[in-house]
């Protein structure tokens, strides 16, 4: 399973920027961010949840020069206080 529920908390990990319809990785860092978050959103929606219920994210970047792009995408998807 790509997620588990313990009590009232949904846990998922290792969400990659894979396009479900093709099985291919999205091209470009911003597109990859958006795809990874779209995949997380699909998991949340399956359980009747959305990004408003997210309270913790662990994100790992291999290139810190992408940090601002990631933050911009997150500002579009999440409301303050950001997870």
User: Which helix or strand (DSSP H or E) is residue 34 part of?
Assistant: helix 29-46
pLDDT of residue 29: 98
CATH architecture of 3-77: 2-Layer Sandwich (3.30)
What confidence score (pLDDT) does residue 52 get? 95
Q: What percentage of the chain reaches a pLDDT higher than 70? A: 100
Q: β-strands 9-12, 3-6: how paired?
A: antiparallel
Domains in the chain: boundaries: 3-77
* Per-residue pLDDT reduced to its tens digit, 48-69: 999 999 999 999 999 999 999 9
CA-based R_g, the chain, Å: 13
CA angle 69, 37, 16 (to 5 degrees): 95
The pLDDT value recorded for residue 82 is 87
């Amino acid at each position: 399973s790509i997620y588990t529920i313990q009590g009232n908390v949904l846990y998922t990990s290792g969400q990659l920027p894979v396009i479900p319809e093709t099985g291919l990785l999205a091209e470009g860092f911003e597109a990859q961010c958006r795809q990874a978050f779209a995949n997380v959103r699909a998991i949340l929606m399956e359980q009747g949840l959305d990004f408003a219920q997210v309270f913790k994210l662990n994100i790992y970047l291999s290139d810190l020069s992408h940090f601002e792009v990631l933050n911009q995408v997150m500002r579009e998807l999440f409301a303050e206080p950001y997870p």
